Copies of this chain bind each other. A is one copy, B any other.
Amino acid sequence: MTDLVPTPLQIDFDLWVRLKQARIEAVLDQILPSVQTVPMALHSAMRYSILDGGKRIRALLCYAAAELYCPQPSPTDITLTDIAACALELIHAYSLVHDDMPCMDNDDLRRGKPSCHKQYDDATALLVGDALQSLAFFILSTSNLTNNAQQQLFMLNLLADASGSKGMAGGQAIDLAAVGKPLTQDKLETMHRLKTGVLIEVAVLLGANSAIYSANSDNNHSLALRNFAGNIGLAFQVVDDILDVEADSNTLGKTTGKDAENNKPTYVTLLGLKKAKSYAEQLHTEALLALTPFSDQAQRLQQLANFIMHRSF
């Protein structure tokens, strides 16, 4: 009898992306309190800020890393990988909502829509971000997800570390302090590693850990994944800086040219456009090289690395 159901690795990359984006959307929709749940205004604003938008790069990295170890995920049950992917997107969305506020980047446009504080107000945006963060840790601590609470606790610990003052929030603080000041490439890299890179790295690690169900994972694999994720996280940021100069707001779904306007150091202002592009290529190559130990199993991660490099939005 012929098996007519294609395995995930046989699905075309574009379709895989759309399927995973649809899946994360459905799980987020189920996890977020409905607009009928009190307080309704807050829940409505939370849903506005996370549903129906974004490339879901962190979720995609999480799914792709999970498929290294579990190439046939359950098509119907909500898995620990789904929950990890949602938690990553919740943390990312909270950071965008707070980052767009007037006291931070003061950005009116996000994912092609008015940003949360423009659509609602500053106080609502503050509470939306706060509550999205709590929700990330709430779903990842749900007790019936696995039989391995130790593993789940470890994943939660990684995510909390990546979100806090030594991770994403710390990167934001360095970013704010850097406005109008020239930075060396080292310092710019530290800032971006914290602000964006650490969460992208953790997306890969959470995905892998959600599928292994064991703390005894191969150390070489773990190092290779960190190496891949570190390089691709930085490449992501360099490409972001290039797009901020080259793309238009409609394609990007957020205001372009903001960094220059805000007098923020970027890879383009530091290296110039040409060198920034070749630096992104170099990071991309190193990321792909790091995947060697996984051979063909890492196809999705390779494709995602290419996607991150050549995206136009």
A residues with a Cβ closer than 8 A to B are 33, 37-39, 41-43, 46, 94-95, 98, 101, 103-104, 121-124, 126-127, 129-131, 133-135, 137-138, 141-143, 149-150, 152-154, 156-157, 160-161, 163-167, 169-170, 172-174, 176-177, 190
Contact = CB atoms under 8 A, between A and B. Distances in A.
A39 B194 CA distance: 10
A130 B38 CA distance: 23
Contacts of A173: 39, 41-42, 124, 127
Contacts of A160: 134-135, 137-138, 141
Contact of A103 (B94, B122, B154, B172): B122
Contacts of A177: 39, 41
Contacts of A153: 141, 143, 149, 152-153, 156
Tell me how many chains of this kind the complex includes. 2
Nearest to A165: B131
Nearest to A101: B126
23 contacts: A33-B166, A38-B174, A39-B170, A46-B165, A94-B130, A98-B126, A101-B126, A103-B123, A124-B176, A126-B126, A127-B165, A127-B169, A130-B133, A131-B165, A131-B170, A133-B134, A134-B161, A134-B164, A135-B165, A138-B161, A141-B156, A141-B160, A149-B149
Contact of A129 (B121, B124, B130): B130
A97 to B, nearest CB: 11
Nearest to A194: B39
